[in-house]
């Protein structure tokens, strides 16, 4: 995808604020401070559209970034596993994310962002298992590769895959927001999921489709 325009749309606290224009959505999940917002900035060639910080827990809501006016959204989740977040806040986060992931029809792909330097955390594993269980289209993106020597990438990739339980057919991309590693590969993957959704037949559960009017493809507005 060629990114011409990227805009911040909304910092949503719940479903009422999610956009209702039915554009495909690519969500980013990962622990706090792992580099989710930086990854978005790298993908869209912007220094700081998605707010990044060395202080963990910066992204508190679901931040929507729209690409090319009518192409897709990146949805930046609040990071999990941030120690200073209260129990109540954590429960609220869990419910919001779980509801989004299980009910959002326009969700096309989840990027599970992990840190290539370290083995996955228990939260990373939980999120991976959860996404697998619900059979959501996913790609594990192992970022911050620039922080380890290239000669050790393969070893780290192997450990990450093994400990998460990534299978040979699963999507896995080593990445670096700092040097741009993996950017083209990730866009190629995203394009596949986002563009294929444009050819899907609309949900016809309750509606009868008139053969003459069935030219319109893709999600319909509620």
**Which residues in this chain contact ligand GTP in the complex, by CB under 6 A?**
30, 32-38, 52-54, 56-59, 78-79, 143-144, 146-147, 176-178
- Which CB sits closer to ligand GTP, 93 or 193? 93
Q: What is the closest distance, in whole angstroms, from the C-beta atom of residue 177 to ligand GTP in the complex?
A: 4
Q: Is 25 left (phi over 0), alpha (psi -120 to 50) or beta?
A: beta
Sign of CA dihedral 22, 25, 31, 35: negative
DSSP 31: B
The binding site for Mg ion (CB under 5 A) comprises 36-37, 59
> How many other C-beta atoms are found inside a 10 Å radius of the C-beta of residue 6?
20
Q: Per DSSP, which regions of 36-79 are E strands?
A: 62-67, 72-76
- Which CB sits closer to ligand GTP, 57 or 192? 57
Output the residue with the shortest Cβ distance to ligand GTP.
79
- Which CB sits closer to ligand GTP, 74 or 197? 74
Q: What is the closest distance, in whole angstroms, from the C-beta atom of residue 117 to Mg ion in the complex?
A: 18
Q: What is the closest distance, in whole angstroms, from the C-beta atom of residue 61 to Mg ion in the complex?
A: 10
Q: Which residues of 166-176 are buried (b: 16+ CB within 10 A; e: fewer)?
A: beeeebbbbbb
- Which CB sits closer to ligand GTP, 147 or 155? 147
């Amino acid at each position: 995808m060629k990114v011409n325009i990227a805009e911040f749309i909304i910092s949503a606290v719940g479903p009422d604020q999610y956009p209702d224009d039915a554009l495909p959505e690519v969500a980013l999940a990962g622990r706090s401070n792992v580099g989710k917002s930086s990854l978005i900035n790298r993908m869209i060639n912007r220094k700081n559209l998605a707010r990044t910080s060395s202080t963990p827990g910066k992204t508190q809501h679901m931040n929507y970034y729209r690409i090319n006016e009518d192409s897709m959204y990146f949805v930046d989740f609040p990071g999990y596993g941030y120690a200073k977040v209260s129990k109540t806040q954590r429960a609220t986060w869990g419910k919001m994310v779980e509801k989004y992931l299980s009910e959002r029809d326009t969700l096309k792909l989840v990027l599970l962002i992990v840190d290539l330097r370290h083995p996955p955390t228990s939260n990373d594993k939980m999120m991976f298992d959860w996404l697998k269980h619900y059979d959501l289209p996913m790609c594990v993106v192992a970022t911050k590769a620039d922080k380890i020597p290239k000669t050790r990438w393969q070893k780290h990739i192997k450990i990450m895959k093994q400990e998460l339980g990534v299978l040979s057919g699963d999507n896995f991309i080593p990445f670096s927001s700092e040097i741009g590693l993996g950017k083209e590969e990730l866009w190629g993957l995203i394009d596949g999921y986002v563009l294929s959704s444009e050819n899907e037949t609309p949900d016809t559960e309750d509606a009868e489709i008139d053969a003459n009017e069935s030219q319109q493809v893709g999600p319909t507005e509620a």
